[in-house]
Amino acid sequence: MAGKEFVFMVLGEHPYGREMLIQLMGAGYVPKAIIEEVGPIAKEERLKFLEWIRGHMVAPTFDDLLEGSDVERFKAPHHNRRQCREILEELEPDLGVLGGTRILRKRILEVPTDGMLNSHPGLLPEVRGSASVAWSIYYDVPIGSTCHFIDPNIDTGDIVLRREIPVHRGETHELLC
């Protein structure tokens, strides 16, 4: 990603996306802009995730994370709608980086010139789709994360990096999420 301008796409104030942004910025990767989906699905997903991880530390809000920065923030009711595509086209990013979104349509995926990167909370190709930690436990597949390019299918794009997460006795599903 060095030298690439990227747009960070995320469901509004989702803790997973906030933590991912902390990690990116800590490594020196600051987005050109953030496009937050703020519709009812974003709220539902955020609340569901907060319930899963109740009692665990949650990353600061985007307002706090971006205080003093010049990162532009845009809000869109839905990442797959025309408004979001128009924002992306205006920004002309090299990359899109997904920090927890819904499945994106091809017309959105094709805007960034170098593609879209996703951080999937499971080891691809073994564990695709949502609830990856639960499926890993169910199928006795190692728990981990995969960074991959998005293609029009679900979790089938070119893999950039896979990393297993060690699991220790006593860790809960919530902690692993």
Mean pLDDT computed over 120-146? 88
Contact 8, 112 (CB under 8 A): no
pTM value is 0.88
How far apart (Å, rounded) are the C-alpha atoms in residues 94 and 39? Answer: 26
pLDDT at 143: 92
**For the domain that residue 65 is a member of, what is the CATH number?**
3.40.50.170
Does a structural domain hold residue 19? yes
For residue 2, pLDDT beyond 70: no
Tens of pLDDT, residues 57-101: 888 889 999 999 999 999 999 999 999 999 999 999 999 999 988
Distance (Å, whole) CA 10 – CA 34: 8
Whether residue 95 is contained in a domain is answered as yes
Domain that holds residue 54: 6-176
Residue type at position 59: A
Sheet arrangement for strand 116-120: 72-76, 33-37, 6-11, 95-98, 116-120, 144-149, 159-164
Which residue in the block uniquely carries the two structure tokens 């699991």?
167
On whether residue 1 sits in a domain, the answer given is: no
Tokens of 154: 């679900």
Residue 41 in this model has a pLDDT that exceeds 90: no
More confident residue, 12 or 9: 9
